[in-house]
């Protein structure tokens, strides 16, 4: 187990400046509990809680981190959560900490990251998927039959577009799933059929997990929304494009989006991302309606870069695109404010997706890789092959990997870890 100071490679996603939250179990102890990641280790926060590390932070602690989800911790005030993070940082960065001076504590608190099983970090109470990236919407709009000759939907700049998603199929990283079936029009015969999708796609998104709830009948401003953000995860909104396009008129996507949504296991908190805070590159002050308007756009979004890698069945993984969160037209605060603007209330543990993260060419200096967060854009609805690795849509056996990172305090790399998922043959389909 680690000695002080903990050896952390500069390429690690989890330096001391990060301190993410997750839920893990081990082979020796199947009980799910909260942990944080530092370097190549997971620190058992439930164990630290039993040792009294958080007694001076709040009387809410007792078995808070011993629970199977982070919901009750996330529902605490922002101040308590910040002080908890400070207590964890202090315990990990002091040579006099019992983590390093007491062998029993050291052995009880640390696990190697490679030896643990990660789970969904929260009970997901609701799922709202937005579409906030102008580049993505412009690229895909021409292919939707209900958006003829439309560059952008007329409401795009007025409020973040969204649909209500499904929580039953939200799965953690590394969970593989079968190719979904649905109703669509066969592109070769023109007949309508229920069959395995022929246009399976990924969508690179940022996920927001909510903290304290918003009571029914109340609303909040975009500036107030920061108090309701617990943290951020990578999100893959897997999509069956043929099913989605056929079913979406007139009420929007259903089964084409419902079969699986993957999220990364580590929740990256706003404090870790704060040094990368910037303003959205597309939006101007006072451009949006007052109910989602910030007092200032400065430091309302984060400079987070994303990579998408694709391994065709049995082949080596290759990077196929890279993009950045700051190219979102709307901010996380605006998404939350609009989500709550009808007075419907919000719960702790809601998941909000940013929409596909695609960056405009004018803002992307690296021409060696694509800037599109999905194959729909990258292959122009399957009419072009993916550069370097070939093929168009996802095939059985393909594995998709997302990575995200920002620059944190002291120039440290604040990583999200990886989000992975592999496509299995459709249920009832014999594997060749």
List, as residue ranges, the binding site for Mg(2+). 237, 257, 261
Give CA separation, 263 vs 152, 232, 355, 396, in Å.
28, 10, 14, 20
Count of beta carbons in the 10 Å neighbourhood of residue 428? 8
Instruction: Report helix, strand or coil for 10.
Output: coil
Q: Out of 119, 136, 291, 327, which one is annotated catalytic?
A: 136
Residue 346, token pair as written in the block: 């919000």
- Non-local (6+) Cβ contacts of 72 within 8 A are 64
Report d(CA 119, CA 123) in Å as an integer: 10
Instruction: Check: CB of residue 16 under 8 Å from CB of residue 415.
Output: no
Using the structure block, give the residue that is written with the tokens 């990990």: 92
Q: Sort 321 into a burial class: Cβ within 10 Å, 0-12 / 13-18 / 19+.
A: buried
Q: Which of 319, 306, 331, 297 is nearest to 386 (CA)?
A: 319
Instruction: Check: CB of residue 230 under 8 Å from CB of residue 425.
Output: no
Residue 21 pairs with which residues in a beta bridge?
A: 267
Give CA separation, 415 vs 69, 159, 357, 419, in Å.
21, 30, 17, 11
Question: Which residues are known binding-site members for substrate?
Answer: 244, 356
Asked about 136 being catalytic, the answer comes back as yes
Report d(CA 393, CA 374) in Å as an integer: 10
Report d(CA 221, CA 224) in Å as an integer: 5
Residue 253, token pair as written in the block: 């996507």
Residue 89, token pair as written in the block: 């940082």
Question: Which residues are known binding-site members for Ca(2+)?
Answer: 129, 203, 205, 237
| Residue 79, phi then psi, degrees to nearest 5 | -65, -45
Question: Which residues are known binding-site members?
Answer: 129, 203, 205, 237, 244, 257, 261, 356
Instruction: Report helix, strand or coil for 315.
Output: coil
Report d(CA 227, CA 340) in Å as an integer: 13
Catalytic residues: 136
């Amino acid at each position: 187990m680690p000695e002080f100071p903990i050896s952390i490679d500069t390429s690690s996603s989890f330096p001391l400046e990060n301190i993410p939250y997750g839920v893990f179990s081990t082979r020796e102890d199947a009980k799910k509990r909260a942990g944080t990641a530092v370097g190549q280790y997971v620190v058992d926060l439930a164990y630290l809680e039993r040792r009294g590390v958080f007694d001076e932070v709040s009387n809410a602690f007792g078995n808070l981190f011993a629970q199977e989800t982070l919901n009750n911790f996330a529902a605490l005030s922002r101040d308590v959560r910040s002080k908890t993070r400070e207590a964890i940082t202090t315990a990990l960065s002091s040579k006099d900490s019992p983590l390093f001076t007491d062998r029993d504590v050291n052995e009880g608190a640390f696990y190697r990251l490679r030896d643990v099983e990660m789970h969904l970090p929260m009970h997901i109470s609701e799922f709202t998927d937005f579409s906030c990236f102008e580049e993505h919407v412009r690229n895909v709009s021409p292919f939707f039959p209900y958006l003829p000759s439309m560059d952008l939907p007329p409401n795009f700049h007025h409020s973040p577009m969204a649909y209500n998603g499904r929580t039953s199929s939200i799965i953690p990283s590394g969970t593989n799933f079968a190719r979904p079936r649905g109703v669509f029009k066969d592109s070769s015969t023109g007949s309508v059929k229920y069959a395995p999708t022929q246009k399976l796609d990924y969508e690179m998104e940022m996920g927001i997990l909510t903290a304290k709830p918003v009571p029914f009948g109340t609303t909040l401003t975009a500036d107030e929304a920061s108090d309701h953000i617990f943290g951020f995860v990578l999100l893959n909104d897997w999509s069956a494009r043929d099913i989605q396009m056929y079913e979406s008129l007139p009420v929007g996507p259903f089964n084409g989006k419902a079969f699986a949504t993957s999220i990364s296991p580590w929740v990256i908190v706003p404090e870790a991302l704060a040094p990368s805070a910037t303003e959205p590159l597309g939006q101007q002050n006072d451009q949006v309606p007052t109910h989602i308007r910030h007092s200032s756009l400065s430091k309302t979004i984060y400079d987070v870069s994303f990579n998408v890698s694709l391994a065709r069945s049995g082949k080596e993984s290759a990077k196929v695109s890279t993009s950045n969160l700051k190219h979102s037209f709307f901010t996380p605060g605006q998404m939350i404010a609009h989500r709550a603007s009808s007075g419907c209330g919000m719960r702790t543990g809601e998941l909000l997706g940013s929409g596909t993260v695609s960056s405009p060419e004018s803002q992307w200096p690296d021409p060696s890789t694509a800037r599109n967060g999905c194959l729909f854009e990258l292959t122009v609805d399957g009419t072009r092959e993916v550069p370097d690795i070939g093929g168009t849509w996802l095939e059985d056996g393909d594995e998709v990997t997302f990575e995200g990172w920002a620059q944190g305090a002291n120039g440290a790399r604040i990583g999200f870890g990886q989000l992975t998922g592999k496509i299995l043959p459709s249920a009832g389909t014999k594997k060749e």
